Amino acid sequence: MEEFKYLGTALINHNSTEEKIKSRLKSGNVCYLSLQNLLSSSLLSKNLKIKIYRTIILPGDLYGCETWSLTLREERRLRVFENRVLRRIPGLKRDEITQKWRKLHNEELNDLYSSPNIVREIKSRRIKRAWYVARIRKRRGFGGETWVKEATWETQA
């Protein structure tokens, strides 16, 4: 058996992060498609739609992300997914020059949503997990002070 799901996570024989991310995005996409009508509805406020995204769709995508080592390709895939969902919230925008409807550009999305993007969220969770592991190691007498100092220096740089 090369692949199976256990507690919602795909366990793969060759331990590929790419396959794990594909699996999480696939489940996130299913969740997004089931909420698509809600996210495009004009009856709900933009803030409520963002809360729906942050509380329902995003946690499913990021489950287990503390152990992922992301490549640029995987980061791009995650950003594309997030931008696709976030574009659905405000809907189309009328271009002032051509007077035609168009989708929001990435810069406009970044300006609209002040919260960090999905890749920054993953990196933040990885750092929190590393601090947690370092604290546990120190509490159990395994040292780790040198590693903690190096991690502090890297996050501040």
Residue ranges per structural domain of the chain: 3-116
CA distances to 2, 28, 58, 94, 147 from 104, rounded to whole Å, are: 41, 22, 20, 10, 43
pTM of this prediction? 0.70
| Joined tokens for residue 138 | 């120190």
Per-residue pLDDT tens digits of the chain, which is 157 residues long: 566 665 566 666 666 778 888 888 898 899 999 998 888 888 999 889 889 988 999 988 888 888 888 889 999 999 999 988 888 888 777 778 888 888 888 888 887 777 778 898 999 888 888 888 888 777 777 655 555 555 555 555 4
Q: Identify each DSSP E strand in 2-152 by its residue range.
A: 3-6, 9-12, 93-94, 101-102
